[in-house]
Amino acid sequence: MVSLSKFALLTILVVFQLKGGNSFGILKPIVHMYITNNFTTGEQLGVHCKDKDHDIGYRSIRFAEPYAFKFRPAFFIPNILYFCGFTFSNEFHHFVVYDQTKDEKAVKRECHWQINKYGPCRINVLVNPNSIECFPWST
């Protein structure tokens, strides 16, 4: 009987987790991702983000316009990794906008990237609020 009720409890927990509910307060908060075109020249920026299971899709955004999506960091194994392709002029670059193993401590509920021609800059919210970290294009 004891093992049966343990099984029942586990089943309930799994069902709630699959439904994406947060009834037990054990799931990690959803991260809202905002990737914004910061080309003051007025050029459009093509953005296409994915992780291994989700394709957010391609969109072309204007200056100051955000490409937004949200996701929930994994609970047990920190394996969420979102990468994006960026196209403008005749350039094409890839960049990892969220790697749970590295970014989870600094990025909790929101992540703001501004895309420049020389590379993406993250405006921090949690650690050193409003500080800006810039990265050169790696590919």
Ligand X SMILES: *[C@@H]1O[C@H](CO)[C@@H](O)[C@H](O)[C@H]1NC(C)=O
In the complex, which residues of this chain contact ligand X (CB under 6 A)?
38, 40, 114, 116, 121, 123, 132
Our CB check for ligand X shows the closer of 92 and 133 to be 133
For residues 70 and 103, give the distance between their C-alpha atoms in angstroms, rounded to a whole number.
15
Residue 96 or 123 having the CB closest to ligand X: 123
Nearest residue relative to ligand X (C-beta): 121
Taking the least distance from each CB to ligand X, the nearer of 9 and 134 is 134
Instruction: Give the E-state strand segments of the chain in sequence order.
Output: 31-37, 45-50, 55-61, 66-71, 81-88, 91-99, 110-116, 119-123, 132-134
Nearest approach in angstroms of CB 97 to ligand X is 14
